[in-house]
Amino acid sequence: MCDVLSRLESSGVSRRNILASFGLGAAAVALTACADTSPEKPSASRSFGPAAAEGYRTRLVLLGTSGGPPYWPGGQREGISSALVVGDRYYLIDAGHGVMGQLRKAKLGPNYDKDLDGPLDVLAGIFLTHLHSDHVVDLNNILSEGLYNGLQSVKKIPIWGPGNRGQLPPLFGSGTPPTPVSPGNPTPGTREMTDLIVQAYATDFNDRLFDNRKPHPNQLWEAFDVPVPSEFTKSPNTDPCPEMSPFTFYEDDHVRVSATLVNHAPVFPALAYRFDTDDGSVVFSGDTGKTPNLIQLAKGADVLVHEVIDKIWPQSLFPEPRTDAQEGLYQHLIQAHTLIEDVGPIAQEAGVKSLVLSHLVPGNRPDSVWEACGKGFDGQLIIGHDLDVIGVGSAK
């Protein structure tokens, strides 16, 4: 990738425009190739297999812990996704690549080992933090192939996520703005996106409906946009993360779910979620730089699942001394995510009991890189790995 960057630059294409064409998340591809990396090696002292949470009514299951769209060379992590198991059901938070297979491997639900009956038979809801591809790419698999993995057995499930941005993001840097994709509706929200998935795969859905007599999609799920109060959504380009208090938007007999805006500009809305259960509370940061909104949402939680980025990447891509343009892009990259040295103090200020690292960027670093995230935090640090299980509250 470094050679590709060099060839493009030598042909007159600026590095800024190269990275802009990749997108913020895909810039990590270049950084992985340019920086010195070591294959991921889990810590030898880890003990977060299913047995560690045996007897807990509420359990956090890390289905995939890799951040960003790249399939990291040498990495062993699937795309970002977590399940919160509460009693006889579970809630899915994000749907990164590989989630369907991971649900099987996690042995969720009573029919996880049945060909057609599980593991989606006890899925109770889907919650998307934002609409970057690495967080939603396998939503379609759950909705379409889910017909043969237990989805037809459940009650109508809710799918919650950010609403329509309402306007295109600003052009990063100078130059002529590109022609947007789907100019008539360039920033669809969760409800619209889910409807468009059904339209795109109508051939498959109709074949299953007419030939296999499967249920119609509108019998199985309903998508909703999280109702962020309108006073906080007026200026996505100039104020994408205004300071606000958390708000509750969903509740059933197992969970109460609250949300707040977080700082993943230019993505908007980007959300963090808090799940309150009878056993304790779990907070998912989504993708974000530092923001007081998240700290307020996570106050006193049992578990904070937080993203993290290794700053060595952008530093290796833009070594000092930097030009003004390079400094601007460097800051752009690191401010949309949370640095290693900032994660621990965030968890400490929020007063959480356990800090669980997930959405690790890059997703192929060894545990030793992430151990510094515990500095400034008095609680338990867990460097997340796929299929880790963490008990919440007390074992019964």
Looking at residue 385, which CATH number applies to its domain? 3.60.15.10
Lowest-pLDDT range of 155-164, 272-281, 321-330, 383-392: 321-330
* pLDDT the model gives residue 155: 84
- pLDDT > 80? residue 277: yes
Average pLDDT over residues 90-119: 96
* Residue 6: inside a domain: no
The predicted-structure confidence for 56-76, as pLDDT tens digits, reads as follows 999 999 999 999 998 989 999
pLDDT given for residue 31 in this prediction: 35
Beta bridge partners of 263: 289
Tell me what percent of the residues of the chain surpass a pLDDT of 90: 78
Say whether pLDDT at 130 is over 50.
Answer: yes
Total tally of structural domains belonging to the chain: 1
Residue 172 lies in a domain: no
The average pLDDT across 195-220 equals 97
Instruction: Look at residue 67 and tell me if it is in a domain.
Output: yes
Q: Is pLDDT at 33 greater than 80 in this prediction?
A: no
Quick check: is 180 in a domain? no
Model confidence at 338: pLDDT above 90? yes
Decide if pLDDT at 330 tops 90. no
In a domain, 140, yes or no: yes
- Given this model, what pLDDT does residue 314 score? 78
Q: Please state, rounded to an integer, the average pLDDT across all residues of the chain.
A: 89
pLDDT band at 24 (very low <50, low <70, confident <90, very high): very low
Identify the pLDDT of residue 32. Answer: 37
Higher per-residue pLDDT: 36 or 353: 353
Range of weakest confidence among 117-126, 165-174, 366-375: 165-174
* Percent of the chain residues past pLDDT 70, beyond the cut: 88
Identify whether 239 is part of a domain: yes
Give yes or no for residue 234 having a pLDDT over 60.
yes
pLDDT at 8 over 70: no
pLDDT bin (cut points 50, 70, 90) of residue 317 is: confident
Q: What is the mean pLDDT of residues 298-327?
A: 91
pLDDT over 70 (residue 35): no
Q: What pLDDT sits at residue 40?
A: 55
pLDDT of the residue at 4:
32
Q: Is residue 26 part of a domain?
A: no
Q: Which domain holds residue 73?
A: 53-167+187-395
Instruction: Indicate whether 77 belongs to any domain.
Output: yes
- The residue that leads in pLDDT, 42 or 375, is 375
